[in-house]
């Protein structure tokens, strides 16, 4: 396993070219092309803002302005959910590549995660515009934790993508189950509501703390939305570092599972 893992560095050129191909293919033939990377998060934000500001208004003072609160959580969630859902089908769709003897199959789920990371990065300028519009200053040195949050989400998402992609080759039902599970996961994460609305010491609070994306959502909200006390401090650093360690362990577990099932992919796809 560690030998194959170390070989990933050699495939960085292949990964880079496949990510570029994926990005070009996604909007090929569309009139707006890459602009959809900016428009999609905006449209998503408008839909959720309409639902939770007009139809089911959330008036909690700690979530105001609600559009900005929502965007701080939805943007990274879109990266995560798209990566996990797309990785479920990536090995089956890439069957012609997998049947080639020298092609490293693990590159495909990694490319899926990185392509969606690029879309997430395209959405950041929109978020920065919202921060400026609502006069939310980014505090230093708290903002230095942002790359750590990004790295943690990248490792966690890649680990889950490896597991999901490998298992779906053998159990095709996972793809349908996963779409419903991701919907449930979204509502079980403090993205459309603040963590403070869940009573401390309750069963719901315990379950939310066991949800890995809870700690990512809170980290993004603390860095980008909530003013810190004292200014510049990052209060959720312990939870984030624990999640980083757990994500690294999950990544190795995911790669181990992928490596064990690797030889059966060509027969099943």
Give residue 232's pLDDT.
Answer: 65
List per-block mean pLDDT (blocks of 10 residues) for the chain, which spans 269 residues: 75 88 79 75 79 76 84 91 92 80 85 92 86 79 90 96 93 88 93 87 89 94 82 82 96 93 80
Give residue 101's pLDDT.
Answer: 65
Answer for the pair 164, 174: CB distance below 8 angstroms, yes or no. yes
Give residue 264's pLDDT.
Answer: 84
Give residue 211's pLDDT.
Answer: 94
Q: How far apart are the first and last CA of the chain?
A: 22
Dihedral sign from CA coordinates of 223, 119, 161, 182: positive
Please give the full DSSP string across 5-72, using - where no structure is assigned: HHGGGGGHHHHHHHHHHHHHHHTTT-SSGGGHHHHHHHHHHHHHHHIIIIIS----GGG-SHHHHHHH
Give residue 256's pLDDT.
Answer: 93
How far apart CA 98 and CA 116 sit, in angstroms, is: 22
The Cα diameter of the chain in Å comes to 58
Coil, strand or helix at 260: helix
Q: Which two tokens stand for residue 206?
A: 């315990």
């Amino acid at each position: 396993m560690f030998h194959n893992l170390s070989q990933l560095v050699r495939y960085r050129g292949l990964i880079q070219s496949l990510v570029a191909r994926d990005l070009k293919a996604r909007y090929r033939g569309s009139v707006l092309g890459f602009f959809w990377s900016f428009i999609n998060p905006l449209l998503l934000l408008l839909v959720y803002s309409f639902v939770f500001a007009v139809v089911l208004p959330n008036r909690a003072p700690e979530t105001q302005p609600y559009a900005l609160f929502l965007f701080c959580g939805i943007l990274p969630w879109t990266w995560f959910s798209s990566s996990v859902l797309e990785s479920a089908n990536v090995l089956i769709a890439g069957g012609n590549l997998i049947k080639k003897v020298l092609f490293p199959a693990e590159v495909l789920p990694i490319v899926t995660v990185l392509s969606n990371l690029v879309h997430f990065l395209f959405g950041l300028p929109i978020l920065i515009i919202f921060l400026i519009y609502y006069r939310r200053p980014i505090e230093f040195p708290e903002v230095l934790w942002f790359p750590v949050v990004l790295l943690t989400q990248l490792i966690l998402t890649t680990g889950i993508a490896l597991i999901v992609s490998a298992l779906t080759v053998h159990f095709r039902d996972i793809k349908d189950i996963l779409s419903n599970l991701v919907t449930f996961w979204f509502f079980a994460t403090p993205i459309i509501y603040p963590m403070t609305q869940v009573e401390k010491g309750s069963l719901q609070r315990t379950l939310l703390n066991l949800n890995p994306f809870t700690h990512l959502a809170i980290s993004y909200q603390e860095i980008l939305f909530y003013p810190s006390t004292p200014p510049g401090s990052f209060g959720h650093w312990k939870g984030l570092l624990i999640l980083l360690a757990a994500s690294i362990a999950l990544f190795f577990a995911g790669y181990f599972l992928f490596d064990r099932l690797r030889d059966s992919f060509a027969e099943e796809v």
